[in-house]
Amino acid sequence: MFPSLLISVKGLVETTYYSFDLRVKSCDEHRYKYLNNRWVPLGISEIIQDRDRQVYKHPKNSQLGSLWEKKPINFLSCKITHNPYSKFGHVSYCFVQYNPLCSVN
């Protein structure tokens, strides 16, 4: 995923297993265009809200808390795609702003 997402965690129980999930949610309903060194809204996007809730599980799921805390967690293998049947990433639309949401289980 570009830009890459790195997350540092602290305060996990060292002997408990944790998993991390990522999803992206649209910031608003607009499409954007890069114009004069800034992003400007163009109009309304065709976003389908069910696709915003697609979850990407970290490939090293179910590790001890002590392992997760040693170094930043990266989601480099997550791909942003337009393919609604992809098993390797999130479905997205061009020129839409997204917020990454990470959950700990």
- Give the strand pairing for 79-81 and 89-91: parallel
**Nearest Cα to 24, choosing from 76, 79, 66?**
79
Beta bridge partners, 38, equal 35
**Nearest Cα to 20, choosing from 32, 6, 34, 37?**
6
Q: What is the pTM of this model?
A: 0.72
pLDDT at residue 43, as a whole number? 83
Residue 58: pLDDT over 80? yes
pLDDT at residue 53, as a whole number? 54
pLDDT at residue 42, as a whole number? 86
Domains of the chain: 6-104 (2.60.40.820)
pLDDT tens digits for range 32-49: 888 899 889 888 876 655
- Residue 49's H or E segment, with its range, is helix 49-52
**Nearest Cα to 84, choosing from 45, 44, 53?**
53
Split at pLDDT 50, 70, 90, the class of 52 is: very low
Amino acid at 16: T
